[in-house]
Structure 1
Amino acid sequence: MAKYRADLPQLEPALFISDGGLETTLIFHEGVDLPHFASFVLLDSEEGRTRLRDYYERYLAIARRHGLGLILDTPTWRANRDWGAKLGYGAEDLKRINTFSIMLLEELREAWETTETPIVIAGVMGPRGDGYAAGRMSAKEAEDYHAPQIAAFAETEADMVASYTLNDVEEAIGVARAARALGMPCSISFTVETDGKLIGGLSLRDAIEAVDRETQTAPAYYMINCAHPTHFEQALSADEPWMKRLFGAKANASTKSHAELDRSDTLDSGDPLDLGRRCSKLRQHYPGLRILGGCCGTDDRHVAAICEACG
């Protein structure tokens, strides 16, 4: 049985951190070629695995230094059927990759975990399509589509699955139903536009309430990712019941819109100290936000700044 699958420690109020933008760090800071933004391909070479270990150890060191828990996410955001096919990975290849990604993080947890720094291993999933474009699947199609990746994680020591950069409620419902059917705790992370709404215009509140309603509150919790705090803080309200389901944010440091980021050939890393201060203010106003990290354009400097600012 996975170490924390039956009792996720981040469900308690204590602060947990997550990593930053894995793919943007590797591409822009380290010059790594990631076709189709897929970092899972690095698992297929010793050089790639070394890069991944080095990347994760920066965040493990930050968590240990601050005595905080860490959500350790696999590099498998693109390791699903459609993106795998673009890279020459069939069903068995993807199962192998998803399985091996957990094994890599198990090794790191064994080396780094302490009583003060619990490390939760999350099998990461991304959207079927582009995180910056609206999805077009029904909930049943999404359930069938994402089930193989969740099933691969369920056979490992993964504590949970974490689905990031979703912008479509039907896809989120499908992921949550598949995870529940396979006995895996899951988190659902939506991305929003500069107006604080999903790309189709749905509010964050309506999205979370719809998924909970249609899945009988199957997700363990919800998050926001790939948006700057100024984009999503306008969508938050401390007094509303749905906020009790929102547990964290992996924020961009850049204030640019998704369309601007998609067109950019350079990395906008924003200001790590400013992001740290903004995350600290979010925690002050919304104490239920207990998981903080970075997304596109962020790195270990940003997460360290968040830890410093949050005390």
Structure 2
Amino acid sequence: MGLLQDLKERILIGDGAMGTLLYSYGIDRCFEELNVSKPEEIKRIHKAYVEAGADIIQTNTYGANFIKLSRYGLEDETKKINQEAVRIARASSDGAYVLGTMGGIRTFNKNAYSLEEIKRSFREQLYLLLHEEPDGLLLETYYDLEEAREVLKIARKETELPIMLNVSMHEQGVLQDGTPLWEALRSIADLGADIAGINCRLGPYHMIEALTEVPIFRDAYLSVYPNSSLPSLEEGRLVYDTDDAYFRESAVQFRTQGARIIGGCCGTTPNHIRAMAEAVRGLSPVTEKEVKIRREEEVISVSNERTEPGLNEIAAQKRSIIVELDPPKKLNFDKFLQAAAELKETGIEALTLADNSLATPRISNAACGSLLKERLDIRSLVHITCRDRNIIGLQSHLMGLDTLGLTDILAITGDPSKIGDFPGATSVYDLTSFDLIRLIKQFNEGISLSGKPLGKKTNFSVAGAFNPNVRHLDKAVKRLEKKIECGADYFVSQPVYSEQQLIDIHHETKHLKTPVYIGIMPLTSSRNAEFIHHEIPGIKLSDSIREKMALAGEDKRKQKAEGLAIAKSLLDTACELFNGIYLITPFLRSDLTSELAAYIKQKDEKRADVYLH
């Protein structure tokens, strides 16, 4: 009798965590490599689960694909690791079904690997496992539904063996893209999964609650592999702590919800599996159940509606000037407010507030933006880096910005921490700038990264960073196109110091419908010019510019005059080609950017007069 035939008549018990037991033995390295170096350890764990009552065991190949093995320098061992895994499991099975296991790769960072890379890696592992003739396949821990669907299509095309696919939820009842669990499982069944279910991340309680909303499908069986509990951190080690009796009770409830395969994920041991096997022994599968209808949390329409057009909308229609003013490094806020007030008088659209630029601690730009709004009625474009906050902090920060009514955001990766005041500090980079843009747009739909409703929709307008100071400008523009796909509304460029470069940028970006704010930053001295030329990646100043700044010597008035003259010359070209101008204030020298903003206004007024007459 085969696996699917068995499932028609009874509930089957899956095994528990492989990694948890290996970790408890003091092994903290690539678990899949142990198929080759310590096969007896793997065999012992398989046997322990079979003796505990597991009808199904999975091969120790969750991360045995090219992408994950390459993290350990083991990519050349992919074939041997997968081959040995199936052979070890088969030798240990004692009649239990052996499923070839393949784990998901994407988490919340969808850009870490392209879908094509994932599919290529999946195909290789799939062929290796199928060659060893397992009883079926287990695709597990898929947080990303798109990835799950794509690899399932590949597997279903290549084999008629039973396929079980388990997705993972960040939050009860929904996947991270907001798809309801029942809908995700239905789509998996429609694509040919014989068994559709859930595993990892959550313990029995939340999985049972989530399954109350999932119907019993007629064309696919339901599987569930919960974690033993939420983990705690004890002396630097993750520890799971749930007693066997709780799992015994949970198994009965899983059966009530229609589960045909019940196993365990992180933190589960043979004791948990034994308890569940004993609990459902002799019980027939449930074929009918009452499905709980989810009551969606009300998503309120945007409460803080914009009272002004987006910066992208302004730049699409007319001249728009934004000015960067770095938040202070010290707690004396008065000088910053004075500079902001001076810039406001020039009629700029907004102040852009960097997020600890050059990895140097500054007053929170959210606090600055809130005070500027309250005291000076100035609009702020708040930068957010991926460097300083994990996904928890990023979501909290976005919620805070929405609460403060700060709705203009520039999403950037952020300078690495090693260049700042604390070179030993950790750079987080949970998300890329592409992911952050996507997350912000997801907030605009009222959905958090975990897929749960936020209670209201935000109304963020999001800018992307543009670095034109690269060898191949066309590749930089390709990045812009990718950011547009993620949801970027407009772009803000790094400073440009060449009229010809401005012309080239216009030529390469004129097909984009999203506006570009061109960065212009006045030079303050010869040393400043030399630093930018030699130490800022990608920016090279012409010999003539460097010579002009050098001729100004140490005379501060000459330095200012020359720096402004160079910037105005650049603006003459930039204003002919772009509506959006981004003036970058060096060293809080608001007098420089104020004069440049006034210069742009005067140019536009003269042009308007000529046009009218």
User: Which TM-score band applies after superposition, normalised by the shorter structure?
Assistant: 0.7 to 0.9
165 and 146 in structure 1: CA distance in 2 versus 1, 3 angstrom threshold: same
Residue 90 of structure 2 aligns with an amino acid whose one-letter code is: E
- Tell me, in whole angstroms, the C-alpha distance in 2 between the residues paired with 1:24 and 1:16: 22
Question: Where does residue 271 of structure 2 map in the other structure?
Answer: 301
Amino acid in structure 2 at the alignment position of 1:277: E
**Aligned residue for 1:98?**
82
Aligned match of 2:35: 43
Q: State whether residues 80 and 94 of structure 1, in contact with CA within 8 Å, keep that contact through their aligned partners in structure 2.
A: yes
- C-alpha distance in 2 between matches for 1:125 and 1:39: 14
- The answer for the alignment partner of 2:260 in structure 1 is 290
With normalisation by structure 1, the TM-score equals: 0.80
Deviations 1:114-166 (A, max 9, x none): xxxxx211110011244xx3645776664433111111111112121101110
Aligned partners of 1:134 and 1:199 also within 8 Å = no
Once the two structures are TM-superposed, the CA of residue 82 in structure 1 deviates from its matched residue by 1.2
- Tell me if structure 2 keeps the 8 A contact 1:195–1:232: yes
Unmatched 5+ stretches in structure 1: 64-68, 114-118
Rounded Cα–Cα distance in structure 1 between residues aligned with 2:68 and 2:88? 22
Q: CA RMSD in A?
A: 2.6
CA shift for structure 1 position 301: 0.9
Task: Tell me the secondary structure at the aligned position of residue 44 of structure 2.
Answer: helix
Aligned residue in 1 for 2:353: none
Provide the residue aligned with 1:182 in structure 2. Answer: 158
Tell me if the contact between 1:237 and 1:243 (Cα under 8 Å) persists in the aligned partners. no
Alignment of 1:54-133 (within 5 A): 54-63=44-53, 70-90=55-75, 92-109=76-93, 112-113=94-95, 119-130=96-107, 133=108
Matched, 1:240 2:230: no
Q: Show CA shifts across 1:87-107 (max 9, x none).
A: 1122x5212211121111222
Which blocks of at least 5 consecutive residues in structure 2 are unaligned? 282-613
Give the C-alpha shift of residue 169 in structure 1: 1.2
1:222/1:247 contact within 8 Å kept: yes
Please give the alpha-carbon distance, in whole angstroms, between the structure 2 residues aligned to 1:174 and 1:138. 12
TM-score (norm 2): 0.42
Q: Does 1:225 align with 2:203?
A: no
Contact 1:150-1:179 at 8 Å conserved across structures:
yes
Q: Matched residues, percent identical?
A: 25
Offset at residue 251 of structure 1 (A): 1.0
**Residue matched to 1:116:** none
Report the Cα distance in structure 2 between the residues aligned to 1:295 and 1:140, rounded to whole angstroms: 28
Contact 2:14 2:56 in 1 (8 A): yes
2:309 maps to: none
- Aligned equivalents of 1:134, 1:231: Cα separation in 2: 24
Would the aligned equivalents of 2:106 and 2:147 in 1 still touch at CA under 8 Å?
no
**Do 1:186 and 1:219's aligned partners in 2 also have CA atoms closer than 8 Å?**
yes
Measure how far apart 1:30 and its partner are.
Answer: 1.1
Q: Give the aligned partner of residue 144 of structure 1.
A: 120
Shift in CA distance, 140/11, structure 1 to aligned 2, threshold 3 Å: farther
- Once the 2 structures are TM-superposed, how far is the Cα of residue 247 of structure 1 from its aligned partner? 1.8
Cα distance change of structure 1 residues 9 and 62 upon mapping to structure 2, 3 Å threshold: farther
From 98, 110, 129, give the equivalent of 1:153.
Answer: 129
Deviation at 1:267, TM superposition (A): 0.7
Q: For residues 279 and 151 of structure 1, do their structure 2 counterparts lie closer, same or farther at Cα, with a shift above 3 Å needed?
A: same
SS at match of 2:177: coil
What is the deviation of 1:193?
2.5
Q: Are residues 134 and 303 of structure 1, via their aligned partners in 2, closer, same or farther at CA, if it must alter by over 3 Å?
A: farther
